[in-house]
């Protein structure tokens, strides 16, 4: 049986330490003494003659003698810190689009929202990485003579796939959903024929930009398998953050819409977090229903999830304008562009994740805290 108040354990693989929060309601804590027992592979809580126990997932082993800092925080429950006997297995290597796509293979592009086929059976002869979107701003620092790349753009041929940070470029070919002669910014939007979701935009007469949050590319011999929208969005954004932080040692990002507006400021804290939560009768569990299958373990009353911990600030309705302007002019901040509708989806996901955390863990230095599942 799950523990009446449930628990949340945030494990850091790098430091082999964990924060344990036993989420009992205030009334339950005041009605009777609470005794917490921490064992290497389980937790036990006794209160008022009842006893609730939960086994920890395989690979998670605690050092009971290292428990310290036990305290009760109003609205949270009981907090304590504990060391691990050994670090849990490392998370799987982050999936990247440019590594998964192989030359001389046939692929199908699906609309992520409804599963409609966007590009049929396209064979990629070349899969090439693109430079960062702001690469041209740095050319003056690299060259001692006039910019040799000025007014030049990269146009993929029919067998090419050019992969960027948040998008990939394909030759439009004969795709019927592509505007033939865009006359305005609105006319450049590439829309799914079935569900009318924005998939990308035309960047020239023969080139389409598809956003990685809107489409799924799979080998032609495979089949489309739907993924809950919120799960897919946060997973793809987390992968972008991890890849860029690893490749470029940058940890601050601006989330921009295709309309040029900045929606969110994100600061990546760590990527070695493992979350463990009991799925008993905790009132907090209902807060996670937005994320669909990502928070439903295959079996057992305790779930584990690899997570990326970020700080974030919303920038809609002129909020945090001064900070956003400062980040805009900081070369250490990397911009990430998505459809404006997806930026709003991501902001909602961030907000709901923050409210699911214990109140004491929701803010840090005026930023809001979020665990993004990858």
Question: To the nearest whole percent, how much of the chain has pLDDT over 90?
Answer: 48
Domain segments of the chain: what residues? 1-89, 97-219, 229-270+306-373
Beta bridge partners of 270: 309
The percentage of residues in the chain with a pLDDT greater than 70, rounded to a whole number, is: 79
Q: Are 107 and 220 in contact (CB under 8 A)?
A: yes
CA pair distance 282, 248, nearest whole angstrom: 40
Across residues 175-184, what is the average pLDDT?
55
Q: What is the pLDDT of residue 285?
A: 37
Task: Considering the domain delimited by 97-219, tell me its CATH architecture.
Answer: Beta Complex (2.170)
pTM, to two decimals: 0.85
R_g over Cα of the chain:
24
For residue 160, the model assigns a pLDDT of 95
pLDDT in tens, 75-97: 888 899 999 998 888 776 556 77
Long-range contacts formed by 201-207: CB under 8 A, 24+ apart:
201/258, 202/172, 202/178, 203/153, 203/169, 204/153, 204/155, 205/172, 205/181, 206/155, 206/171, 206/172, 207/155, 207/156, 207/169, 207/170, 207/171, 207/172
Could you tell me the pLDDT band of residue 184, with boundaries at 50, 70 and 90?
Answer: low
- Return the residue matching tokens 């948040």: 166
The CA distance from 274 to 10, in Å, is 6
CATH code assigned to 1-89: 2.60.40
C-alpha 293/C-alpha 155 separation (Å) is 38
Indicate the range of 75-84, 114-123, 132-141, 153-162 predicted with least confidence. 132-141
**Mean pLDDT computed over every residue of the chain:** 83
- Please, which pLDDT band fits residue 356 given cuts at 50, 70 and 90? confident
Q: What is the pLDDT of residues 217-271, one digit of tens each?
A: 999 998 888 889 999 999 999 999 999 998 888 999 999 999 999 999 999 999 8
- Distance, in Å, from the CA atom of 159 to the CA atom of 179, rounded to the nearest integer, reads 21
Place of tokens 């505007």: 179
Domains 1-89 and 97-219 are alike in CATH topology: no
Q: Mean of the pLDDT values across residues 144-168? A: 82
- What is the structure's pLDDT at 28? 52
Determine which of 12-26, 33-47, 83-97, 176-190 has the lowest per-residue pLDDT on average. Answer: 176-190
More confident residue, 64 or 283: 64
Asked if 244 and 253 count as a contact pair (C-beta separation under 8 A), the reply is yes
Overall average pLDDT of the 3-13 stretch:
79
For residue 288, pLDDT beyond 70: no
Position 21 scores a pLDDT of: 92
């Amino acid at each position: 049986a799950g523990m009446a108040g449930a628990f949340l354990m945030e494990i850091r693989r790098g430091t082999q330490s964990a924060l344990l929060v036993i989420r009992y309601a205030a009334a339950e804590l005041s009605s009777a003494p609470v005794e917490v027992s921490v064992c290497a592979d389980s937790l036990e809580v006794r209160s008022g003659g009842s006893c609730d126990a939960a086994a920890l997932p395989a690979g998670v082993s605690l050092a009971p003698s290292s428990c310290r800092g036990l305290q009760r925080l109003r609205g949270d429950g009981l907090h304590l810190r504990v060391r691990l006997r050994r670090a849990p297995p490392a998370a799987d290597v982050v999936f990247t689009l440019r590594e998964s796509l192989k030359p001389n293979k046939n692929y199908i592009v699906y609309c992520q929202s409804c599963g409609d086929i966007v590009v049929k059976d396209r064979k990629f002869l070349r899969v090439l990485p693109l430079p960062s979107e702001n690469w041209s701003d740095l050319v003056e620092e690299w060259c001692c003579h006039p910019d040799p790349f000025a007014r030049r753009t990269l146009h993929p041929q029919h067998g090419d796939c050019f992969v960027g940070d948040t998008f990939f470029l394909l030759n439009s070919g004969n795709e019927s959903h592509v505007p033939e002669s865009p006359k305005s910014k609105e006319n450049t939007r590439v829309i799914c024929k079935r569900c009318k979701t924005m998939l990308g935009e035309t960047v020239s007469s023969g080139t389409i930009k598809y956003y990685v949050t809107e489409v799924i590319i799979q080998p032609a011999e495979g089949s489309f398998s739907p993924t809950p929208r919120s799960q897919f969005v946060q997973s793809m954004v987390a992968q972008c953050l991890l890849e860029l932080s690893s490749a470029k040692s940058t940890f601050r990002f601006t989330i921009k819409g295709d309309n040029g507006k900045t929606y969110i400021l994100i600061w990546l804290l760590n990527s070695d977090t493992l979350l463990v939560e009991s799925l008993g009768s905790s009132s907090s569990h209902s807060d996670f229903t937005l994320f669909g299958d990502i928070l439903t373990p295959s079996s057992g009353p305790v779930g584990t999830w690899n997570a990326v911990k970020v700080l974030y600030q919303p920038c809609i309705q002129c909020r945090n304008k001064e900070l956003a302007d400062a980040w805009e002019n900081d070369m250490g901040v990397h911009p990430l562009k998505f459809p404006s509708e997806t930026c709003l989806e991501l902001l909602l996901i961030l907000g709901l994740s923050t409210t699911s955390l214990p109140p004491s863990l929701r803010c840090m230095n005026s930023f809001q805290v979020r665990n993004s599942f990858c």
